[in-house]
């Protein structure tokens, strides 16, 4: 396949970010409304993605204004980390693309401590009876003491990083224990995963699956499948455990085989007729980056080429049909869905779609992602 479009897509995306350094500036975007990214505040779980885009952009271009803005945004998140009460399992989404990216870029000691504090919080959420990391907190979701969610697979690289950084395996033990529980209690025979699993927080016994942002307990929320395929690829990258590799491959096959021609899924692969009226481009962007990550972990051969080509095909679908270059829109990728069952932010551009689109394009150019 002619891949010249990859350079073109990357150049246009970097151009848009160049403009956004001033146009978006000191905001913590979640979704774009009326062509303009909103400011959801530093507490929200997506606050790390705009700084993450800035770090990727800085690494690709050397632009120091982007780096300075990313650091200011990271500092603006301190009151959230130190305030404690609003933070939950998503500290990986928040502090990997900010503080850990900062520390890995220039060795900043304060950034390192922020990353370790976030990792300690995540490890502290581990429930030893059920061997899972608790999702959310009472403020976000009442009575969720026994809940674990598939999204959390993407927070685990914070724990792997913390173990490497401190030489203390505890963080990694928590990450692998949680991953093993996801294998035993979430994973289905067809490679798909529910959004939420509820456990008895006292005994650790599984109670049931819960639909969450997906259609129902037995459905396959599209972004959840993307979190799984990428998260287990990271688990394999960090541990070499082939069970995680198999889980990532199976989740990838489920995702790929259910995609329509333009490569962007309906918000839930098993949404019934009448509820298939919203796509989720963010699931596609995350899956593309995950598939390319998976491919990079494999030895040369047909498998490696297969996962790369599937990731590239999804990116091409996003570039051809979902990207905006009109000049009227701050976001790159259109048509994401945040929470269909709750009717929240349906058919909008979402900041993490832009993040994973850029990350995937840069991986194709040999750069690493931030997860
Ligand atoms: N982690 C929440 C979501 O994917 O919407």
Q: Where are the beta strands (DSSP E) in 195-251?
A: 196-199, 206-210
Q: Residue written as tokens 């779609």? A: 353
Q: Give, using CA atoms, the residue closest to atom 1 of ligand 1.
A: 151
Q: Is 223 in the pocket of ligand 1 (CB under 6 A)?
A: yes
Whether the Cβ atoms of residue 293 and residue 369 lie closer than 8 Å to each other? yes
279-308: pLDDT as tens digits:
999 999 999 999 999 999 999 999 999 999
306-365: pLDDT as tens digits:
999 999 999 999 999 999 999 999 999 999 999 999 999 999 999 999 999 999 999 999
Structure-block tokens of residue 55: 């770090």
* 82 burial level (CB within 10 Å; 0-12, 13-18, 19+): exposed
264-283: pLDDT as tens digits:
999 999 999 999 999 999 99
Atom of ligand 1 nearest to the CA of 339: 5
- HSE-CB for 368 with a 13 A CA cutoff: 9
Q: Which residues pair with 196 in a beta bridge?
A: 149, 210
| C-alpha–C-alpha distance, residues 304 and 297, integer Å | 8
> Mean pLDDT, to the nearest integer, of 187-198?
98
> For residue 189, what are the contacts with CB-CB under 8 A and spacing of at least 6?
none
Structure-block tokens of residue 33: 């409304």
| C-alpha–C-alpha distance, residues 75 and 44, integer Å | 15
Instruction: Please report the sign of the dihedral spanned by the C-alpha atoms of residue 339, residue 345, residue 351, residue 356.
Output: positive
Structure-block tokens of residue 219: 């459905």
DSSP sequence for 239-267? H--HHHHHHHHHHHHHHHHT--TTS--BS
- Name which of 15-24, 69-78, 141-150 the model is least confident about: 141-150
Q: Which residues pair with 348 in a beta bridge?
A: 336
| C-alpha–C-alpha distance, residues 145 and 86, integer Å | 15
Closest CA to 234 of 166, 292, 294, 282: 294
Atom of ligand 1 nearest to the CA of 45: 1
**Catalytic entry in 22, 63, 90, 354:** 90
Number of neighbouring beta carbons within 10 Å of residue 308: 18
> For residue 336, what are the contacts with CB-CB under 8 A and spacing of at least 6?
31, 279, 280, 281, 282, 345, 347, 348, 349, 350, 353
What's the count of helices (H) and strands (E) in the chain, helices before strands? 14, 9
Structure-block tokens of residue 279: 């796509």
Whether the Cβ atoms of residue 66 and residue 17 lie closer than 8 Å to each other? yes
pLDDT at 1 over 80: no
Average pLDDT of the residues of the chain: 98
Whether 90 sits among the annotated catalytic residues: the reply is: yes
DSSP sequence for 332-359? SB--EEEETTTTEEEEE-BHHHHHHHHH
What is the per-residue pLDDT for 266?
98
Q: Is 151 in the pocket of ligand 1 (CB under 6 A)?
A: yes
């Amino acid at each position: 396949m002619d891949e010249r479009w990859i350079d073109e897509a990357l150049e246009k995306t970097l151009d848009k970010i160049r403009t956004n350094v001033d146009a978006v500036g000191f905001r913590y975007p979640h979704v774009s409304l009326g062509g303009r990214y909103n400011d959801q505040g530093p507490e929200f779980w997506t606050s790390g993605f705009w700084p993450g885009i800035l770090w990727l952009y800085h690494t690709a271009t050397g632009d120091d204004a982007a780096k300075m803005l990313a650091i200011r945004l990271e500092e603006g998140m301190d009151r959230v980390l130190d305030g404690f009460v609003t933070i939950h399992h998503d500290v990986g989404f928040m502090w990997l693309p900010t503080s850990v990216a900062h520390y890995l870029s220039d060795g900043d000691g304060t950034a390192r401590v922020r990353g370790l504090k976030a990792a300690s919080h995540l490890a502290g959420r581990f429930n030893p009876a059920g061997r899972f990391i608790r999702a959310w907190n009472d403020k976000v979701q009442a009575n969720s003491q026994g809940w674990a969610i598939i999204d959390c697979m993407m927070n685990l690289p914070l724990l792997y990083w913390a173990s490497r950084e401190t030489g203390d395996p505890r963080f990694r033990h928590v990450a692998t224990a949680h991953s093993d529980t996801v294998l035993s209690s979430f994973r289905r025979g067809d490679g798909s995963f529910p959004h939420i699993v509820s456990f008895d927080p006292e005994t650790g016994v599984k109670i049931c699956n819960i639909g969450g942002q997906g259609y129902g307990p037995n459905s396959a929320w599209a972004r959840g499948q993307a979190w799984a395929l990428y998260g287990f690829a990271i688990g394999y990258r960090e541990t070499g455990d082939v069970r995680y590799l198999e889980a990532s491959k199976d989740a990838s096959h489920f995702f790929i085989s259910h995609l329509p021609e333009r490569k962007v899924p309906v918000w839930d692969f098993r949404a019934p007729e009448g509820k298939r009226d919203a796509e989720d481009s963010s699931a596609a962007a995350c899956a593309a980056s995950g598939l390319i990550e998976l491919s990079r972990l494999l030895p040369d051969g047909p498998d490696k080429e297969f996962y790369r080509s599937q990731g590239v095909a999804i990116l091409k679908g996003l570039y051809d049909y979902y990207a905006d270059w009109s000049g009227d829109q701050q976001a790159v990728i259109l048509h994401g869905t945040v929470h269909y069952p709750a009717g929240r932010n349906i058919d909008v551009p979402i900041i993490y779609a832009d993040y994973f689109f850029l990350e995937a394009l840069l991986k194709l150019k040999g750069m690493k992602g931030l997860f």
